[in-house]
Structure 1
Amino acid sequence: MTALVVLPSGLRRIVMVLGFPAGYTDAGFVPFETFGAKVWMLTLSVLSELVALLTIGLVRPWGEVVPRWIPLVGGRAVHPLAAVVPAALGAAALTLLWANVPWWWTYPHDDMTPAGSLVVGILYQPLILWGPLTAAVAYSYYRRHRPATRGTIGS
C-alpha cells in the first residue's frame, strides 16, 4: 500500500522530466528544465518508490531472513530491531515531512496555474498516509517478532 501512496507524486515528477510543465506556468517551469533538476526529480521519484517498497519486507519472508544473494549476510535471520527501528524512525520522519500537505491550497503557488495547483495538491495528498502506514506495518512486524513473554503474575 505504501508504494501506491507514493506513486502519484513520483509519476508527476517523471512527467516533468519528460518536458511537460505538469501544472506550472511557462515561467514557473523554467527552473525544472535544467539537466540537474531533471536528474534530481528522476532520482527522487525512483528512490521514494524504492523506500516505499521496502515496507513490503515487513510483511514478507525476506524481512525475516536476508535473501541469500546478498553478500556476507545472505541467509541470516534479520534481528527484529534492525527492521523495526529504521522503519519507526522513517515513519516518524515521513509523518512530519508530509504533515502540511493537507493545507496545500492555503499556500500561494504563483508559479502554477490554478488547475495545476489543484491537480498537484490532489496528487500529493496520498503522501499524508506514507508515515502512518509505515508505522502500522512496523508495529505489526514488532508484534509478530517480539520475544515471547514468560508467564505473567497471576496467571
Structure 2
Amino acid sequence: MMTNPAGRVTQGQFSFLPDLSDAEISMQVEYGLNKGYAWSVEYTDDPHPRNTYWEMYGMPMFDLKDAAGVLQEVNACRATFPNCYVRLMAFDSTRGFESIAMSFIVNRPANEPGFGLVRQEVEGRTIRYTVHSYATDKPETQRY
C-alpha cells in the first residue's frame, strides 16, 4: 500500500494534505499568535529529511502580532525563491527556551524529484541504507 501516492515531500504538519491556501495559512498563523508563538520563514532547495536547518528569510518575527504581516513575509519569500521549498516555523518561548511548536510547508517547486534508497554493503553481511535526494544531483542554482 502506498501512503504518499503524489510523491510529495512530507515534512511538518499538513504534509499529506493538499497545499494550504493563503486564508488557511493565515488561520494557522493566527492560532499560533494567539498561543504567543513567534514565526519565522525559511527556504531550501534540498528538503532532505535530515536537512533540518533551512536558510532563514528575514529575521524571526518575535514582535509581530498580525497574521497579515507574516503572510507578507511568506509572499516575499515565494517571490524571491519561487522554485524552492518555503516553510513557516512557530517558536514557543513560554518555558524560557525556544522550541518549535509548529512547522509546515507553504511553497513547493513545480517538480519534486523525490528521494531514492541507496543500499551499501559493508563488512561481513552488513547492509546499510541511506536516503539520497535526487535534487542534489544538480548544482544548487539548477535544481528546480
- Give the TM-score normalised by structure 2: 0.25
Asked which structure has the greater RCO (Cα within 8 Å, sep 6+), the reply is 1
Larger Cα Rg: Structure 1 or Structure 2?
1
Higher strand share: 2
- Give the TM-score normalised by structure 1: 0.24
